[in-house]
Amino acid sequence: MSLTYLLRRLGAVLIVLAIVTVAVFVITNVLPGNAALMILGENATAENLSALERQLGLDRPLPVQYLHWIGGVLQGDFGMSLRLRLPVSEVVGSAFFNSLWLAGIVLVAVTLIAIPLGALAALTRGTVVDAVIGVFSYLGTALPEFVTATLLLVIFAKPENPIFPAGGFVAPFDDFPGFLRHVVLPAATLGLILMAHISRQVRSEMSEVLASDYVRAARLKGLSERRVIWRHTLPNSLAPAVAVISLDIGYLLGGIIVVEEIFAWPGLGRLLIYALQNRDLPVIQAITLLLAVVYALSNLLADLVIAKLDPRVRYA
């Protein structure tokens, strides 16, 4: 992989993140309500509100506030939570790792299941197997997260005979079997939709590759079907699948907000809802920026993987 290509992609990521910091700061500061009023309550006097605004720096011009905020961010200081009175990095850090466990399990499970499912559907086009996988894909993409979560709770977390817990969280290092029991339903809620989307994409791309001239030529040369599939068909079908997976990370980050609230999972999504309800601006800014960084880096990684799978990308 050429160094020029890597530097160009890194530069694009840095530009995007710089724009995101401005957008996040401006949008959070034009939200309705007053952070000082949220802290002191409705009965606060004008003098107390004014004093707290000066203490928090809310009385300064927005450009000055932004420069102060971004300077702290570059040093790893996101400020103090207005509501919890704790360092934002501490509050967001613990929630981030909880969400990371959930998102990581979903991505690994989806990748290991969806790609083989899509490949199987492409290899069995027009059969019952293809039809069943197709029905699963359409159902998965049609059902939103809250509907899928409700169905899973009704089936697997009935109060009289629960197979899995209806909500809550157990730290994996404290009780790993308990963690696995708690992660099944939220991971399944997120994973079913992602699996449906990715398997459809893999089936579509692999079907096109199977009908291509070079695959037909490989078969005419007498190559075994196993070699045709593993050497020529599957690698050329994976590049679009990797692109779809990287784009679906955006859905995953958005879906986590809904799923964590439903299953009482103490991650970034639940913390963001709490911060929005209490207008905790430093926490909102930190979470939004962190999600943008994760999405940008995941797309960068996908671009590098695609460039590795398809050398033509490097010279585009």
Q: What pLDDT digit, counting tens, does each position of 277-311 carry? A: 877 888 888 888 888 888 888 888 877 777 776 66
How many C-beta atoms lie closer than 10 Å to residue 15's C-beta?
Answer: 10
Q: What is the pLDDT of residue 38?
A: 63
pLDDT at 314 over 80: no
Greatest mean pLDDT among 144-148, 182-186, 241-245 lies in 182-186
The pTM for the full model equals 0.78
pLDDT at 39 over 70: no
Q: What is the pLDDT of residue 312?
A: 61
Structure tokens at 112: 């290991």
pLDDT mean over 262-271: 87
pLDDT at 41 over 70: no
**How far is it, in rounded angstroms, from Cα 315 to Cα 2?**
9
* Residue showing tokens 């197709």: 134
Q: Is 80 helix (H, G, I), strand (E, B) or coil?
A: strand
Q: What is the pLDDT of residue 35?
A: 64
pLDDT at 1 over 60: no
- Percentage of the chain exceeding pLDDT 70: 89
pLDDT tens for residues 148-168? Answer: 888 888 888 887 778 888 888
What residues form DSSP beta bridges with 87?
A: 80
Structure tokens at 246: 């990287």
Q: What is the pLDDT of residue 37?
A: 62
Is residue 78 within 8 A of residue 89, CB to CB? The reply is yes
Structure tokens at 209: 């590759």
What residues form DSSP beta bridges with 80?
A: 87
How is the chain split into domains, by residue range? 93-310
Class of domain 93-310: mainly alpha
* Residue showing tokens 């992602």: 194
Q: Is 162 helix (H, G, I), strand (E, B) or coil?
A: coil
- Percentage of the chain exceeding pLDDT 90: 0
Higher per-residue confidence, 113 vs 226: 113
